[in-house]
Amino acid sequence: MTTSFEALLPGTERALLHRVAVAQSEGRTPSFVGAVVRDGALVWSGSRSCVDGHAPDADTQFRIGSITKVFTAVLVMRLRDEGLLGLDDPLERHLKGTGVGEVTIAQLLGHTGGLAAETPGAWWERSSAALRPELSDVLGEQPFLQSPGRRHHYSNPGYTLLGSLVEAVRGVSWEEALRREVLEPLGMGRTTVGPVAPHAGGWAVHPWADVMLPEPSEDLGLMAAAGQLWSTAADLARFAAFLAAGDERVLAAASVEEMRAPAAPAGEGDWEASYGFGLQLVRKDGRTLIGHSGSLPGFVACLWVSVEDGLAGIALSNATSGPSVGVVAADLVRIVAEAEPRFPEPWRPLPEAEVDEELLSLTGLWYWGTYAYGLRLGPERSVVLEPLRGTGRGARFRALPEGGWVGLNGYYAGETLRAVRRADGGVSHLDLGSFVFTREPYEPKDAVPGGMDEAGWRGL
């Protein structure tokens, strides 16, 4: 039986609340909500407010800004999984007349399309959408800053294009597609394109005085797919569970895992962060976090998920600047991971049907030249190849229906591993993308490319 704990320990809860209190105080924000998800369930939420007795809770809406992009990316991945488009398709194939149609859908998802970060004209987050009634108004006369596919450059107009792509392929509005295909299946009834009470008001806090100014709340129009949504800690907890494990009603686990893989190179000097399909990826405190941050005038938000730890941290605030929500969300994950580390699953033998003598005969020691490797069996007839001494490239391999295995990670991702047999049926060697693995290092009887020196091994 899997050990599961729903409630956090009192000491852990106090540490979490203390982190939120420090964020609200030092960040000088009217209110701050934090939440933690463990193994798919919301296990803690807490808040602080400048108004005594009037703190928001996990059901209070905040604007979540660019976290909206993750939802848009999910809608696009659904279209791909249904065969309605391909990620390498040029945009023009499905959305005509944009003037940037050579950009691929994958490049838009990973912000490598070469498009500008913002729209021309007035600051779109703080001005009427009526100023940008058409995509041409969003893109401007010079939409490209560099050649598509060359580097990561965050682009809000790029996600506007993806929202319009969803509408063109689905034949319904982006909002309707989102509600029907993502929000309703995941039970996210408090995530909406406009505020629904109870919701926080957005504020600007003066940088040099303890005074505030209300921020406007504009409808973003065509830019909605890049940052329109309002949500709650409780709803984002449900979304975090989906990002960790997938949900067949919305997107299969394999497709969500594909979104979590780096799709764009790290920026110059930035080797701790990358971007997938609609997801930011960072390394912090020794763990990989996936999710997104978001900001709009009056609000900042962040959602981080550590799939390995089974944890997610959520931070929401109603101030234009001040609290470092990305740091706080990561800290909430760290606090729980360190105070209450996840129990590993109990070791269990493989199911009888997944093991046979032929597979067992392949396990153990193999050599690529003089590099020593170990091969062991995994679930569902998979295998793992691991370097045993010195440097080397290890990988996991999934069994193929026709025999052999395909690499799942690292250098050998997509490469084929197969057992090559002699005429008598015994295994001669392993072939991995033309690399030969033998049972002994450079034995004359083995099929070593280039042959062997006839004198064999020798001393100095």
pLDDT at residue 184 tops 50: yes
Average pLDDT, the chain: 94
pLDDT at 276: 97
pLDDT at 267: 67
Residues 29-80: pLDDT tens digits?
999 999 999 999 999 999 999 998 889 999 999 999 999 999 999 999 999 9
Whether 49 is covered by a domain: the verdict is yes
Whether 148 is covered by a domain: the verdict is yes
Residue 316's beta-bridge partner residues? 33, 301
For 398-403, what is the mean pLDDT?
95
Cβ contact 78:258 at 8 Å = no
Counting beta carbons within 10 angstroms of the beta carbon of residue 66, is it exposed (0 to 12), middle (13 to 18) or buried (19 or more)? buried
∠ CA 297-303-307 to the nearest 5 degrees? 165
For 102-113, what is the mean pLDDT?
97
pLDDT at residue 446 tops 90: no
**Chain centroid, CA 269 distance in Å:** 21
Length reported for the chain: 460
Of 273, 306, 339, the residue at which a domain comes to its end is: 339
Tokens for 283, please give them.
Answer: 């390394």
pLDDT band at 4; cut points 50, 70, 90? very low
pLDDT at 449: 85
User: Minimum mean pLDDT among 195-199, 282-286, 311-315: which range?
Assistant: 282-286
Q: Clarify whether residues 100 and 238 are in a common domain.
A: yes
Verify cis geometry, omega within 30 degrees of 0, for the bond prior to 379. no
Q: Clarify whether residues 154 and 251 are in a common domain.
A: yes
pLDDT at residue 439 tops 90: yes
Whether 222 is covered by a domain: the verdict is yes
Q: Clarify whether residues 110 and 175 are in a common domain.
A: yes
CATH number at 238 reads: 3.40.710.10
pLDDT at 242: 98
Q: Clarify whether residues 421 and 335 are in a common domain.
A: no
Whether 65 is covered by a domain: the verdict is yes
Task: Tabulate helix, strand, coil % of the chain (nearest 5).
Answer: 30, 25, 45
Of 339, 363, 380, the residue at which a domain comes to its end is: 339
For 336-347, what is the mean pLDDT?
94
Question: Which residues neighbour 434 within 8 Å (Cβ) at sequence distance 6 or greater?
Answer: none
Q: Clarify whether residues 294 and 385 are in a common domain.
A: no
Q: What Cα–Cα distance (Å) separates residue 277 from each residue in 22, 108, 243, 320, 387?
A: 33, 9, 12, 26, 31
The beta-strand segments (E) located in 258-334 are 273-275, 280-284, 287-296, 299-306, 311-317
Q: Clarify whether residues 69 and 183 are in a common domain.
A: yes
Q: Clarify whether residues 106 and 244 are in a common domain.
A: yes
Q: Clarify whether residues 327 and 358 are in a common domain.
A: no
Residues 344-369: pLDDT tens digits?
889 999 888 888 899 999 999 999 99
DSSP annotation of 90 reads: B
Q: Clarify whether residues 168 and 94 are in a common domain.
A: yes
Residue 383's beta-bridge partner residues? 377, 397
pLDDT at 270: 66
- The domain total for the chain is 2
Whether 1 is covered by a domain: the verdict is no
Q: Clarify whether residues 109 and 45 are in a common domain.
A: yes
Q: What Cα–Cα distance (Å) separates residue 2 from each residue in 44, 137, 211, 346?
A: 21, 54, 51, 8
Of 278, 310, 339, the residue at which a domain comes to its end is: 339
Cβ contact 102:90 at 8 Å = yes
Question: Residue ranges of the alpha helices (H) in 209-310?
Answer: 224-227, 233-245, 253-260
Residues 144-172: pLDDT tens digits?
998 999 899 999 999 999 999 999 999 99
Whether 453 is covered by a domain: the verdict is no
pLDDT at 3: 39
Straight-line distance from the first to the last Cα atom of the chain, in angstroms, rounded to the nearest whole number? 59
Q: What Cα–Cα distance (Å) separates residue 353 from each residue in 357, 379, 380, 401, 427?
A: 11, 10, 9, 15, 22
Residues 203-253: pLDDT tens digits?
999 999 999 999 999 999 999 999 999 999 999 999 999 999 999 999 999
Cβ contact 408:393 at 8 Å = no
pLDDT at 2: 34
d(CA 265, CA 38): 30
Domain with 410, as residue range(s), is: 352-437
Q: What Cα–Cα distance (Å) separates residue 342 from each residue in 27, 45, 281, 307?
A: 31, 19, 21, 11
73 closest CA partner among 101, 95, 106: 106
Residues 263-287: pLDDT tens digits?
977 666 666 899 999 999 999 989 9
Between 450 and 262, residue with greater pLDDT: 262
Of the chain, the percentage scoring pLDDT greater than 90 comes to 83
Whether 325 is covered by a domain: the verdict is yes
Residues 365-391: pLDDT tens digits?
999 999 999 999 999 999 999 999 878
pLDDT at residue 416 tops 50: yes
The owner of tokens 């924000």 is: 29
pLDDT at 52: 87
For 292-310, what is the mean pLDDT?
97
Q: Clarify whether residues 123 and 220 are in a common domain.
A: yes
DSSP annotation of 18 reads: H
Which strands form 299-306's sheet, in the order they lie side by side? 41-49, 31-38, 311-317, 299-306, 287-296, 280-284, 273-275
Counting beta carbons within 10 angstroms of the beta carbon of residue 274, is it exposed (0 to 12), middle (13 to 18) or buried (19 or more)? buried
Q: Clarify whether residues 197 and 66 are in a common domain.
A: yes
Counting beta carbons within 10 angstroms of the beta carbon of residue 402, is it exposed (0 to 12), middle (13 to 18) or buried (19 or more)? exposed
**Chain centroid, CA 252 distance in Å:** 14
